[in-house]
Amino acid sequence: MTDLSADADAISGSTENPARFTAIFDRHVVAVHNYVARRVGDVLADELTGEVFCIAFERRATFDLTCDDARPWLFGIASRLVQRSWRTGDRSARAHERLRHERQRLSVADVSDRIEGGEFAAAVASALDRLPEAERETLLLFAWDRFSYAQIGEMLGIPVGTVRSRIARARDRLRDHLAAAGHPVPEPTTLLPKDTPS
């Protein structure tokens, strides 16, 4: 199991011995790549993942050494790069198409043991597509990537209260969209994990 408490030590030590930063890459490259690939596809994810770690290395002096886990910091960098990529013409179309495909695939996996049929999975994917971007990203960081509210707030640069309200609104909208499509979801929604301590 990864010792996340060593992240701060590795980053701190890398200011005098840059080679120590490779431990951050080794621990987190797979998680960062998976996060990016869900949003922009595997090909572009390779490029952006490399860029995440280049930026992180260049800005390592800005890392808050009181934080043990470097993932929120790395995912925050990744999130900004993904959003920038979505604003660059053709990449945007490819990114959204990949995200739609990945949502549908994950939705099937997430609910297959509870609800049968691809029709419901397609409805979930469609409902996710209809969420405002800020709510969708906050929700996916929580539901897909299993970050706490505090970690999401750090990544996105927003207060924990805003994270909570975005997730609550996103859940309500998902429920409404699914109900309108003839797929009512009982309260509380079975599609998403319960709140976790921040």
Digit-coded pLDDT (tens) for 22-79: 999 999 999 999 988 888 888 888 899 999 999 999 999 999 999 889 999 999 999 8
- What percent of the chain lies above the pLDDT cut of 70? 72
Fold of 1-88: Rna Polymerase Sigma Factor; Chain: A (1.10.1740)
pLDDT band at 107 (very low <50, low <70, confident <90, very high): very low
User: Is there a contact between 143 and 189 (Cβ–Cβ < 8 Å)?
Assistant: no
Residue range 148-155: average pLDDT? 89
Domain with CATH 1.10.10.10 in the chain: 99-198
Answer yes or no: is pLDDT of 82 > 90. no
Class of domain 99-198: mainly alpha
The pTM of the whole model exceeds 0.95: no
pLDDT band at 1 (very low <50, low <70, confident <90, very high): very low
pLDDT of the residue at 88: 65
Residues of the chain with CATH 1.10.1740.10: 1-88
